[in-house]
Amino acid sequence: MPRFHFSVSQRYALALISVLVLTAAGGIFWYKRAMANASYGPAGSPTSAPADDAQNGTGILLGLARDAMHDGRLVAPAGSNAYEFYLSVLQLEPQNPTAQEALRESFPRAAVEIEHTINTFDLEEARREIDLLREFDSNNFTLALLSGKLSAARNIATKQHEAEAERIQQANADNAARM
């Protein structure tokens, strides 16, 4: 019986030692990371804080934009797409070459996606996406073509709705005449 208690207490001791070693390793890692972050710049420097915040925000937005591109979220969904993230980078840093190049290179693919959105008659979303591209390059001829196609799709949708309404009215009139 005493041997059993000894082996149980040994297991608890081993578990306790393991937890202590992991805690110490975590503390050392945290301390080294805190020291590395503190050594990047002089603490309390008032002139570097806004620039650091802008750089940090730009880096975060560029990372989000890259992730969105990788996930195929070029212009949709609203609020979580690469174009909006890159445009936000340009608001922080108007001359950011990474954002400008990414927007310029992805413009043709974005136009194809918008055309697909128009073809599926998601017209409000297509309008939002065209406006998004217009924020980057308002003089691009492709946007004029897409706007024309959107207008034509709206006319088609309006005529389809009118024809459907007329068909329903005719069916109601026929039903009323039978009664």
In a domain, 3, yes or no: no
Residue 120 has phi, psi (to 5 degrees) of: -90, 5
How much is the pLDDT for 174?
A: 87
Contacts of 123 (CB under 8 A, 6+ apart): 150, 153, 154, 157
Residue 145: CA count within 13 A, CB half-sphere: 8
Higher pLDDT, 164 or 35: 164
In a domain, 26, yes or no: no
Mean pLDDT of 47-56: 58
Q: In residues, how long is the chain? A: 179
Confidence of residue 45 (pLDDT cuts 50, 70, 90): very low
In a domain, 12, yes or no: no
At 30, the amino acid letter reads W
What is the pTM assigned to this prediction?
Answer: 0.64
Task: Summarize pLDDT for 126-173 with one digit per residue, the tens.
Answer: 999 999 999 999 999 999 999 999 999 999 999 999 999 999 999 998
> Residue 149: which domain range?
51-178
Number of domains in the chain: 1
Task: Quote the CA–CA distance of 145 and 161 in Å, as a whole number.
Answer: 24
Residue 111 has phi, psi (to 5 degrees) of: -65, -40
